[in-house]
Amino acid sequence: MAFSDLFRIKREIIEVGRRMYARGMVAANDGNISVRLGGGLFAVTAAGVSKGFMTPDDIVVVNEEGRRVEGGGKPTSEAKLHLFAYSRRPDVGAICHAHPPYATAFAVSGRELPPNILPEIILTVGGEIPLAPYATPSTEELARSIEEHLGEAGAFLLANHGALTLGGDLTQAYYRLETLEHYAKIAWLALSLGEVKPLPEGELDRLWCISKGMDPSCREPDENGEAAPPGTG
């Protein structure tokens, strides 16, 4: 990869870190960000740095085994989690991990976010936000904790820990983190008012079709009574 491309990606990671910190999604040195560079290499944030005040020296290039190939810092302790997700999801180009308070409150209470209540979350993040079981931060077990739902999900709650979002690029991964936290805040407020009302029946299918760029009725049965199977397209 050209030096100028790596520099641009480092600037993007720094900007996303600054926004995560400014929005209170991380405290002190929490959180980590990574981008797939191609050729089996990844840019990851260094361990022990505030995401609000990073410089290009705080981004390290690692290989698929997590070994440092460029940069002076030590890679984030969660590099295993990021690299595991990249290895299973060729469609993923960037990953954000943070401890945003509302999403993390759901993760700490062991409670999944109510599905099927807001169209925006389905269009931006996807219909499913799994709650991955608790595992010790920085361990191989944490990486494995997301395995069961890694197939299609764009965002995870990590029990007693925080949130993880995946995207085709860094903008998408970061926007999913913002949207997830915004959604968790709305859900928390709505639950404090009482029950939340689900979207009308069939709406999840319609939104899924729209999110894939297809006709809203793409999952409705055709004249032969056959609906497109879930997960196709």
Q: Which residues bind Zn ion (CB under 5 A)?
A: 162
Least CB distance to Zn ion at residue 28 (A): 11
Least CB distance to Zn ion at residue 222 (A): 46
Alpha helices in 66-216 (DSSP H): 79-88, 101-109, 119-124, 140-145, 170-193, 203-211
| Comparison of 51 and 219: residue with beta carbon closer to Zn ion | 51
In sequence order, the 6+-apart residues with CB closer than 8 A to the CB of 44 are 32, 33, 34, 59, 60, 61, 62, 75, 76, 79, 82
Ranked by CB distance to Zn ion, the top (closest) residue is: 162
- Cβ–Cβ < 8 Å for 61, 198: no
| Comparison of 27 and 210: residue with beta carbon closer to Zn ion | 27
For residues 163 and 202, what is the distance between their CA atoms, to the nearest angstrom? Answer: 28
Residue type, 162: G
| Comparison of 19 and 115: residue with beta carbon closer to Zn ion | 19
140 is catalytic: no
Least CB distance to Zn ion at residue 139 (A): 12
Least CB distance to Zn ion at residue 71 (A): 21
| Comparison of 100 and 162: residue with beta carbon closer to Zn ion | 162
The catalytic residue among 64, 65, 78, 181 is 78
- Catalytic positions are 78
